[in-house]
Amino acid sequence: MEHKGLRFTKMHGLGNDFVVIDAINQHFDPTPENVRRLADRHRGIGCDQLLLVEPAEGGEADFRYRIFNADGGEVGQCGNGARCFARFVVDHGLASGPEIRVETISGPMRLRLEPDGPVCVDMGVPRFEPAEIPFDAPARTKSYALEVGGEQYEIGAVSMGNPHAVLRVDDVDEAPVARLGPLIEAHPRFPQRVNVGFMQIVSPRHVRLRVFERGAGETQACGSGACAAVAIGRDRGWLEEAVAVDLTGGGLMIRWEGEGKSLRMTGPATTVYEGRVA
């Protein structure tokens, strides 16, 4: 395999798993083919996303944070990955923490290692304008009617630095994730495709969520998806400022004061093993 000897760390955030590579002290060329090869669960290491740690390109940031889906595509946000990124750079002596500033292709982020292990991420301001998502709609509304496979579905749409569509369901365990996820992910009204969340509202402070991720399929957790679900739920008046989000792989705490304010996510980051490509 190309990149013989490449060092990597296998990590996960609530079962959303990552290959993390220090691209400051070693060379890795993130072509779609190279990413797909490492992400392959049978012939490679296996992951939902591959995360690169690169030098910051100037300005306030300490690092550049790059995210690639298992399908090889580079994207602008990964919330679970951001928590693992913070844990990685401190554990590998690249930063002292607790506060770490990163730049991504969709903008700056601030990460903070809490003393007892969790990581708090400032995920930025949710963007609801269709053009910012991007989503093909004449104007921003609280919800949109989406025609999928001959049926109409009511969705919310928002960007957390990556595009999200969220549907409200009565019971996530019964949600048609496998059927609707791929159809909405590739829906023509989302020109860059979209992550698809299925949200069950348990109370104004507690939701259950499953996410069919763009470029990766259903994952055990999606950090930006949890943020998107809370942003949309709060915009609809269903949720309060602090919401516990239960995903298949575990729980995140999301806080959002509302329109125009940054949204914050707190949760775990776990290192599984260190490895080298043979």
**Is 162 annotated as ligand-binding?**
yes
- Strand-pairing partners, residue 201, are 207
Asked if 248 touches ligand API (CB under 6 A), the answer is no
Q: How many residues bind ligand API (CB under 6 A)?
A: 22
Asked if 159 touches ligand API (CB under 6 A), the answer is no
Asked if 230 touches ligand API (CB under 6 A), the answer is no
**Is 80 annotated as ligand-binding?**
yes
- Between 219 and 248, whose beta carbon lies closer to ligand API? 219
**Is 34 annotated as ligand-binding?**
no
For ligand API, the binding residue among 75, 89, 157, 172 (CB under 6 A) is 75
Residue 84 designated active-site: no
Residue 78 designated active-site: yes
Instruction: Give the shortest CB-150-to-ligand API separation in angstroms.
Output: 26
For ligand API, the binding residue among 34, 69, 159, 248 (CB under 6 A) is 69
How many of the other CB atoms lie within 10 Å of CB of 195?
Answer: 28
Asked if 181 touches ligand API (CB under 6 A), the answer is no
DSSP-derived secondary structure for the chain: --STT-EEEEEEETTEEEEEEE-SSS-----HHHHHHHH-TTTS---SEEEEEEE--STT-SEEEEEEETTS-EES--HHHHHHHHHHHHHTTS---SEEEEEETTEEEEEEE-TTS-EEEE----B-SGGGTT---SS--S-EEEEETTEEEEEEEEESSSEEEEEE-S-GGG--HHHHHHHHHT-TTSTT--EEEEEEEEETTEEEEEEEETTTEEES--HHHHHHHHHHHHHTT---SEEEEEETTEEEEEEE--TTS-EEEEE--EEEEEEE--
The stretch near ligand API (CB under 6 A) out of 140-148, 223-231, 233-241, 267-275 is: 223-231
Of residues 118, 88, 121, the one with CA closest to residue 250: 118
For ligand API, the binding residue among 34, 195, 200, 248 (CB under 6 A) is 195
Note whether 161 and 107 are within 8 A (CB): yes
The residue from 47, 84, 120, 222 that is catalytic is 222
- Between 48 and 246, whose beta carbon lies closer to ligand API? 48
Provide the pairing of β-strand 151-159 with 144-148: antiparallel
The residue from 47, 78, 84, 120 that is catalytic is 78
For ligand API, the binding residue among 11, 39, 78, 172 (CB under 6 A) is 78
- The CA-CA-CA angle for residues 2, 12, 5, to 5°, reads 20
Asked if 268 touches ligand API (CB under 6 A), the answer is no
Asked if 249 touches ligand API (CB under 6 A), the answer is no
Asked if 228 touches ligand API (CB under 6 A), the answer is no
Binding-site residue numbers for substrate are 16, 49, 69, 79-80, 162, 195, 213-214, 223-224
Active-site residues, by number, are: 78, 222
Interface residue list for ligand API (CB under 6 A): 16, 48-49, 67, 69, 75, 77-81, 162, 195, 213-216, 219, 222-225
Binding-site residue numbers are 16, 49, 69, 79-80, 162, 195, 213-214, 223-224
